[in-house]
Structure 1
Amino acid sequence: MWISTDDSCFQPPQARGWGLRPLAAGMLGLAALLAGAQGWTAQEDLDEVARLLEQGRAAQAARLAESHLQRNPGDVQMRFLQGVIATEQGQNAKAIEVFTALTRDYPNLPEPYNNLAVLYAAEGQERKASEVLEQAIRTNPSYATAHENLGDLYARMASEAYAKALQLDDSRKTAQPKLALITQIFPLRETGAATPPAAAAARVAAASQARPQEPADASPQLTTVPEPAPKPAVAAAPAAPPQAPARPVAPPATSAAALAAAPVRETPPPVASPTSSIAAADAVASSPREASTGAASASAGDAKNAAADREAVQSAVQAWAAAWASQDIDAYLGAYSEQFRPGDGSSLSNWQAQRRQRIVGRPPISVTVREMKVSLDGDQATAAFRQAYASGAYRATTRKTLRLQREGAQWRIVEERAGS
């Protein structure tokens, strides 16, 4: 289980080398009301708490969570998040208290059991942790994370037992289980059982396939626009008219009477008429051809411009992610416009200093952008995508939306939102 708030700032504690195993889930999209939970989940408060955690302001996040729970004591999502905040602050005793209370109040939810087991394991209580994980599996046999964590625990305990049997030196390192801490409770079905992660992922995939058009896929579609345009032009050019004037060429060979009458008619330019009629036919045909070609050219030009802008926006987002991952702070901050306003209301210079502090010198960072969808509106663009962040043992996945504007030849970020 991992803490799936946003990207860089939320670092769960490391105890005895415990790693975090990623579990695909995004916290900031949560607004579900859980069956049996009392009160109303204020999405605004959840988003704000997550934003504070992203900025490393865990103390403020804890105060907001406490204030929210005073008004909405039955908000199970915020209670769960309160335990996550305590874990992030290193207050394991408080976190254990929160998750234990959740297992009593909501015994059918596997997530509190799982996080409780992670905390016990971090304190070296592997046996107790395994018992709690077994309880999590009993509440939801398909809960994959609990199975993985339990397998890691069994491997650790077996390794320790083997070491003791051989009377190995205490300094010998044993395999460390990679238990994962999660930060969200999956929505409940009518029966009260948590939705399995695999089923949730399948629904997300099906929903994304059901969408009629995705802006990110517009580029390959746009490239086909110029192709149909020349086809009407070919159809508009009549191949038959040039052949029709050829018929007057045949009559001179029909009879002597026709030959005798020829001097009297003085207008035998039937021979010249094929040329003139061909020219006339070409002139008539060229008019619709030029009109259709002009319209097609305009349409093709618009399509190419839109495709080029979309590609430029996608490249700007990927460059932003690459600069972040490589800890190239100048390139990272350069991806933001001077018009960018931080979501917490701080000044741009203070925000830049904070980001510099939180990015430079950190453990290796990985930032992956997936499922990007770009929409254009003149010199404004919106890029929505799923962001996967990893640094050290921390893993996080969330939805993110960037609003960009064209500044000269560059697209720069003017607004950044998580969970939308």
Structure 2
Amino acid sequence: MKRILSLSLLVFSAAAFADSLDDAQKAINVGNYEQALTDLNKYLDRNPGNAEARFSKGLTLTMLSRDEDAITVFSDLVRDFPELPEPYNNLAVLYARSGRYEEARDALEAALVTHPSYATAHENLGDIYAALANAAYNRAIVLDKGNNDIESKQELVARITGMQKTTAPVQVSSSARPSAATPRPAPPAPVRTQPTPAPAVATRPAAPARTPARHAVPDINDVPDTFSTTPILPGGSAVASNSGKLSSADEKAVLARLESWRASWSAQNVDQYLANYSPNFDPATGVSRSVWESQRRTRVVRPRSIAIQVLSPRVGQTSGNRAWVEFTQIYESNSYSDQVRKRLEMENVGGQWLIVKESVVG
């Protein structure tokens, strides 16, 4: 498999072009991305809801290596147009560039919920599987030096995918709608030699295709969402310190919620697990709450066994009804193990502390 990032320019329908939007497309076609961004911003000032223009802005920001700005644009697109798979795909590309493979995986799976025959997402998802496996083998080698079996497995992944130790190739989508008009051809962009290569331009959206065979790597549904750090010791007793702002009762309630979350995940009691989250919970990948819950149901119940340890929790308060807890999470299933630092942010809803945000902090 080639280690390049395949990228196609945005395909507009003929009716979508007008004034600065047409100028923006011309600028994109010749690689003048700064001018394209200026033209797109002018057009969006007058037409803020135009999906094609917003998509093209995200693509232009990507080409300018303004990845965080592009993530914001594509995240807003998947919120406003959840039926379009291409913004999800490009979110995955950007997440993968920065090593955020779990978030990339979630974005691709969200694209496949509505478009299961979207070939680009299937191919990219296979690459994300391989990247996650590669990262897991890297950690295993550090923990178990000299284990030839681990090194052989990592070499097998590298041979199958052609990847280097930290590279995950992905394809950027170029169409903001699945059934776009005839695409405009564009010259290929040069490929860089850095670990994350530059895009090579394609000229049309990927046609529906059969899902490619998966690589021989651990099942992605056995890999937890990586977020984390600090412990509840076996038996449920906590070692904690707070910022001095939370009352003793609230601190105990926050830690009790953390223990409920840990215990229900370990027991694979998915209903109780999801009940620990606030109705206002914001999934980190920008997917809808319903899509996120569907993904979590699969990942919580899929492994034959799960054991979660939470170590050294540290509790603090951000506002009157908001608190956070940071801890070290140790995840073990029958097929995968990991250790991460995690932060759960909680809000007090009707006297209950519930999780409103979850993120990895180290």
In the superposition, the TM-score normalised over structure 1's length comes to: 0.38
In the superposition, the TM-score normalised over structure 2's length comes to: 0.44
Q: Select the structure of larger CA radius of gyration.
A: 1
More strand by percentage: 2
